[in-house]
Structure 1
Amino acid sequence: MDNSTPAGPASARTLDRRILALALPTFATLVSEPLLLLVDSAVVGHLGTAPLAALGLSSNVLNVLVGLSIFLAYSTTGTVARRLGAGDRLAALTGGLDGLVLAVVVGVVLALGLELALPLVVGLYGVEPEVAALATTYLRVAALGLPSVLVLLAGTGVLRGLQDARTPLVVVVAANLANVVLNVTLVYGVGLGIAGSALGTLVAQTGAAVVVVTVVVRRSRAAGATLALRPGGILSVARTGGWLVVRTALLQAAVTTNTLVAAALGAVTLAAHQVVGGLWTLLAFALDAVAIAGQALIGSALGGGDVALGRALTRRMLGWGVVSGLVFGLALVVARPAYVGLFTPDPEVQQLVSRVVLVVALQAPLAGIVYVLDGILIGAGDARYLALAGLVSLALYLPVALVVHHLGVGLAWVWASYAVFMATRATTLGLRARGTAWTRTGA
């Protein structure tokens, strides 16, 4: 990080306050979602090992589709932050409204596509007939919630671009608490089984999306933004997100490869993988709080032409990323006796989860670095490089994953091989952050 003056103690505290003002409420918002997934795993897990394995398969399918659409949050955050940093609130909120419209369109297309292709999609995993049937039941219902999920992503991106992390926190926490109540009631009280879990999540997500859209529309009207359909603006959001889609597709390819290798080891391993995957998601979302703060802060700094501030923020956020990784990784290990038994009564699954968590926790500090650098470069609008870096990382990871699959050495090695992907991302993103090509300024 070469062309800025190091921040002194006073300015470092100022930077930390700015980072934490966004990161702390964002952390609470982000961890509520994987906690919700873990609650779903606990509720469904007590129906049996096959339903838990089916939920693992279903979660991977939905995570791929939602992950590919994460550009709706990231591009709106960056666009709104840059335009706000350049002093144009009207243009910022106009761009946010265009992102919401695009989210509706993409959500409807994905929902219809998944419903039509569901037998083919589930069949790709090669699981036992019982697991496949349960996954199909879950996904039939869950697919209907994709438009709401994507609208919620875009709306949250707008609010974060405005540096409002409190509203998404309140909405998401309320929705997740409602989801817990709905899932327990529908799965056990009404007796809908795994379909009840999907239905409860669908209702909660739709309610959250309605609230966030209402907030964004009110603020847009107050700024003078019109609600007219703007094809040019929508296409602009889509173009901005194009490289982010490629970047995310490559990340999802790595995660899906991880799941496919685990699925080949049987229902018990896939059930344990679902729990470990939920814990990894919780860890990733917790670490992503600083990264998402970085998207808004870096976008605003570069939008206002302040490269030195952007670099100073980068250094501070990297420090927070490493510290957060160490703390959360340690917590994941220490708390094992308290949470492993919550997800399933199957002792074989419990023992496997307890062992594999150690492998996941060791990767946490590395993940802290990767997610912060990723957020900084997204905020800088450097999506093309992120996509190319993802391609390099996936190319190095896939041969390792194939070797692990061929050897059939167990779930711990499946997750250990994933460290190759994370280490390559850390290297490629770190090299980029040391240069100057990403520090483009202006709205």
Structure 2
Amino acid sequence: MLALAAPALVVLAAEPLYLLVDTGVVGNLGTVALGGLAVGGGLLAWAAALLNFLAYGTTARAARRAGAGDRAGAVAEGVQATWLALVLGLGVLVVFQLLAGPLTQVLAGGAGAVADAAEGWLRIAGLGAPLLLVSLAGNGWLRGVQELRRPMRYVLTGSLASLVLCPLLVHPAGLGLAGSAVANVVGQALTAALFVRALLREGVPWRPRAAALRAQLVIGRDLLLRAAVLQLAFLVATGVVARAGTAELGAHQIAVQLFFFLALVLDAYAIAAQTLVGQALGAGRRRDARATARRVTAWGLGSGVLVAALLLVLRPAVLPLFTDDPAVLAQARTAWWFLAGMQPLAGVVFALDGVLMGAGDVGYLRTVTIGSALAGFLPLSLLAVPLGWGLAGVWTGLTLFIVLRLVAVVVRVAGDRWMDAPATVGA
């Protein structure tokens, strides 16, 4: 479990860490450039998050085939996912080229210097959209065959290239914000090239297969809907908090970014579970699949408890690193209790999400996530300001969202139907 989770964690953390450095480099250009990077980078990250099924859906299908002893079939899933990534990536590229101006103006709050800066960055960085999606597909099939060290090396190679180029292009080369976008595309091109080379070395046919593409799109549809609802729920919550006050908004931003980062850490177990469960079910070893579910639940719970303890112990030292505003700090302390308290629950939820994804039970995950958002997260978020609950109301909604998902996935895994999910079966 740890042998699979550790390299997965490196891959998950590479992009956020690069963006952190990129933000520091661009920040020296001034607030307009920094705002442009935030808006443009947010749009590109949003597109990648919505299309992340190219990694998770491909892992489920490839793991089933690998477990059945069909490595060539598992690699073929990677080929089909790569074709799908190229088509979808070209679609994203065209959308960004045609609508970069209107999209950035909406996010920037209207036309102006920040919107112009974001538009220029997005037009360049958007060229890397097909490359970014090819890398997601590559991660998917390699996870499916339990080769997680190669994706780690490929992603780190591309990220390091971007890290070296970004400050050189932004400052000495004089490209400014455009240099950040160019460095981003170069790093993505290098990573994508390594994933494509890995596929070519397997020697499998590269002909697109309609049946396989349709089967991947079924998984993609469910995961896309799930991701879209998640994005919408957090967007609504942020809008509600913004109306509560600037201190509340600042505290919410700190807490929610930590929530996303910690979700990445805990999600490493989900990736390991996907691979192990998919291969076990592909080989007909249902008992092993259930044992993996129990094991990953224990790891997720234990890690969540550890993370919660660290958050509580380190709060006095960590919070001042983000702000010295007394009003923001006071609000952040309120959110901090929710953030720490939900970590053990989130650890189990994310782990069992991986189990169900590995089994191909993504239709159930879609329904549970959407239902939990509509029944818990969104209502409490929308009522927080009218009822005077403020930031605490929004984070109560987020906690209820996690609790509802926890109950649903535990009940599902306790039964047998998840092991008979048909979503990963097909040509």
Q: TM-score range by the shorter chain?
A: 0.7 to 0.9
The TM-score normalised by the length of structure 2 is: 0.86
Deviation at 1:206, TM superposition (A): 1.8
Deviations 1:173-205 (A, max 9, x none): 222223222233333444544443333222212
Q: Please, which of 115, 120, 126 is the counterpart of residue 97 of structure 2?
A: 115
The TM-score normalised by the length of structure 1 is: 0.83
Q: Is the 8 A contact 1:50 1:267 kept in 2?
A: no
Q: Secondary structure at the match of 1:98?
A: helix
What residue identity is the alignment partner of 2:163? V
Query: Is 1:375 the equivalent of 2:358?
Result: no
Equivalent residue number for residue 7 of structure 1 = none
CA distance, structure 2, for counterparts of residue 189 and residue 338 of structure 1: 36
Equivalent residue number for residue 419 of structure 2 = 439
Deviations 1:141-182 (A, max 9, x none): 332221111100000101000100100111112222232222
CA distance, structure 2, for counterparts of residue 419 and residue 194 of structure 1: 38
CA distance, structure 2, for counterparts of residue 417 and residue 137 of structure 1: 37
Equivalent residue number for residue 218 of structure 2 = 239
CA distance, structure 2, for counterparts of residue 269 and residue 194 of structure 1: 31
Deviation at 1:131, TM superposition (A): 4.3
CA distance, structure 1, for counterparts of residue 30 and residue 388 of structure 2: 25
Deviation at 1:29, TM superposition (A): 1.9
User: Percent of pairs identical after alignment?
Assistant: 40
Query: Is 1:104 the equivalent of 2:86?
Result: yes
Deviation at 1:403, TM superposition (A): 2.6
Describe the shift of the 1:61–1:171 C-alpha distance in structure 2 as closer, same or farther (beyond 3 A).
same
Equivalent residue number for residue 42 of structure 1 = 24
Query: Is 1:312 the equivalent of 2:291?
Result: yes
Describe the shift of the 1:265–1:71 C-alpha distance in structure 2 as closer, same or farther (beyond 3 A).
same
CA distance, structure 2, for counterparts of residue 412 and residue 47 of structure 1: 36
Describe the shift of the 1:104–1:304 C-alpha distance in structure 2 as closer, same or farther (beyond 3 A).
same
Q: Secondary structure at the match of 2:297?
A: helix
Deviations 1:191-245 (A, max 9, x none): 54444333322221221111111112212x0xxx212233333233223322222
5 Å matches for 1:60-209?
60-125=42-107, 127=109, 129-209=112-192
What residue identity is the alignment partner of 1:22? L
Q: Is the 8 A contact 1:43 1:343 kept in 2?
A: no
RCO greater where, 1 or 2, for CA within 8 Å and sep 6 or more?
1
Q: Which moved more, 1:76-85 or 1:173-182?
A: 173-182
Describe the shift of the 1:339–1:432 C-alpha distance in structure 2 as closer, same or farther (beyond 3 A).
same
Q: Is the 8 A contact 1:287 1:368 kept in 2?
A: yes
Deviations 1:246-294 (A, max 9, x none): 2222222223334444566788877776665543332111111100011
Q: Please, which of 281, 293, 300 is the counterpart of residue 321 of structure 1?
A: 300
CA distance, structure 1, for counterparts of residue 230 and residue 25 of structure 2: 28
What residue identity is the alignment partner of 2:418? W
Describe the shift of the 1:184–1:202 C-alpha distance in structure 2 as closer, same or farther (beyond 3 A).
same
Describe the shift of the 1:243–1:358 C-alpha distance in structure 2 as closer, same or farther (beyond 3 A).
same
Deviations 1:16-73 (A, max 9, x none): xxx1121122122222222223333433445555655554444443333112211111
Equivalent residue number for residue 5 of structure 1 = none
Q: Is the 8 A contact 1:80 1:95 kept in 2?
A: yes
Deviations 1:302-343 (A, max 9, x none): 111111111111011011111222333444565668777777
Q: Is the 8 A contact 1:60 1:259 kept in 2?
A: no
Query: Is 1:214 the equivalent of 2:197?
Result: yes
CA distance, structure 2, for counterparts of residue 108 and residue 31 of structure 1: 26
What residue identity is the alignment partner of 2:136? L
Q: Is the 8 A contact 2:247 2:328 kept in 1?
A: no
Q: Is the 8 A contact 1:37 1:278 kept in 2?
A: no
Q: Secondary structure at the match of 1:438?
A: helix
Describe the shift of the 1:410–1:249 C-alpha distance in structure 2 as closer, same or farther (beyond 3 A).
same
Q: How many residue pairs are counted as aligned between the two chains?
A: 420
RMSD across aligned positions (CA) = 3.2
Equivalent residue number for residue 11 of structure 1 = none
Describe the shift of the 1:284–1:336 C-alpha distance in structure 2 as closer, same or farther (beyond 3 A).
same
Q: Which moved more, 1:190-199 or 1:391-400?
A: 190-199
Equivalent residue number for residue 229 of structure 1 = 208
What residue identity is the alignment partner of 2:416? T
What residue identity is the alignment partner of 1:82? R
Query: Is 1:395 the equivalent of 2:378?
Result: no
Equivalent residue number for residue 398 of structure 2 = 418
5 Å matches for 1:291-310?
291-310=270-289
CA distance, structure 2, for counterparts of residue 210 and residue 265 of structure 1: 47
Q: Is the 8 A contact 2:380 2:393 kept in 1?
A: no
CA distance, structure 2, for counterparts of residue 267 and residue 55 of structure 1: 22
Equivalent residue number for residue 279 of structure 1 = 258
CA distance, structure 2, for counterparts of residue 430 and residue 109 of structure 1: 38
